[in-house]
Amino acid sequence: MRTAPTALVTLGRLPKALDIARALHGAGWRVLVAEPFVRHLTGASNAVSRSIQVTAPTVDGQAYLQELRQIIAAESVDLVVPVSEETMHVAALHDCGVRVFTMPPDFVRYLYDKLGFIQFSQSLGLTVPRTTVMSDPVTAATFRSAAVIVKPRLSCGGRGVQFLESLPELQADAHLIVQDWIKGVVHSTCSVVHQGRCLGTVVYRAAQLSGSVAVAFDRIDHPAIEAWVETFARASNWSGFLSFDFVVDATGRPYGIECNPRATSGIHFFVQSDLGAAMINPQAVTHIGLRPQRRLQQFWACLTEAQKQPLGRALMRSLGQLFSTPDVTWRRDDPWPLLGMPYTAWPIIAAANREGVSFGEVATRDLDWRGSLPEPPVSGRVGRDLNHDLNRDSNHDRFR
């Protein structure tokens, strides 16, 4: 006889999955992890009851979803929590009678599309860079004399992004956008939102990069960014994780450059007991507390970056930060995710070393959404209408 409700976390290899698993386990839930890799970081945690290997969504998206549906039925899953890029696939599970901690697929994929996100933000009057699609040669020509960024509409981890002082003669491509290169400091956010209400928002900056992916993080206070996020969340009536990347210009004005309709590394700054409550019973939560630490790191990734430094002050500074900054995975009562990471993450580490690319690129490339370019939500519907559909489903309301 089952004694605890069951959550299915749909990825295990990344540290943010471990935060989610620990938060749910700490609230008394049974936690399962579905993961294409045989071994993974979160699977080493005592918060996880069982790990189940599934087909990678980029190998066979239909098989991936079918396997998740089979797990949901066989294990009597009550809540599905997507973690990273697989969210664009997992959002389709709203049709199988279980609560899914994200929005339905048409809206998730529309905002994942970098052009769709810009257009939606513009409709709300929010600050974003001037942007157009490369398949419109007349509009793109207006960028000829400006510093620009060219990037794929559907991509993650900074893949395919070009920073150009001027726009060259590029072949028109509906899968690329061009936008003003706003010079400034990149900031990121991670929020937990319920029906348009931000339960908690973290604003952070990269303190250490591995390729284009942050592996150490500084939490900061930025009221203008928080207000931007709250406006977007309220207008979209979002529910689930919601994250953004911003560029803050010299005047302190934030420009939204990308939407990540999923969790990001900012999740590490949330108090885990509050995070668990927000996933399980968001209707009852008014605020998610933040950990007192202002800087956190992924120890092994930062160690790898420190080893690249030449002997001298830079190396000593890196080592000093390495051994004075708390790791995002370490817990004395659950030590093996950190201690065992060289073993559990070895397939990713080996591929990254072999190919000369970052850990982050290898860790997400079998999860990418590679479907067709999304259209705006059906009949112009946005989050408020989509959440109305969710609220009619008794399964969605079961744990409120």
Provide the pLDDT for residue 209: 79
| C-beta of residue 87 within 8 angstroms of C-beta of residue 261 | yes
Q: Is the pLDDT of residue 308 over 60?
A: yes
- Global confidence as pTM: 0.91
Reported as a pLDDT band with limits 50, 70 and 90, residue 373 is: confident
Q: Is the pLDDT of residue 311 over 80?
A: no
Q: Which helix (H) or strand (E) holds 307?
A: helix 299-307
pLDDT in tens, 79-98: 999 999 999 999 999 998 89
Q: Is the pLDDT of residue 392 over 70?
A: no
What mean pLDDT value characterizes the chain? 89
| 116 Cβ contact partners less than 8 Å away, ≥ 6 residues apart | 110, 153, 374, 376
**Nearest-CA neighbor of 38 among 55, 16, 61, 18?**
55
Which SS3 state, helix, strand or coil, does residue 94 take?
helix
Q: Average pLDDT in the 345-364 region?
A: 85
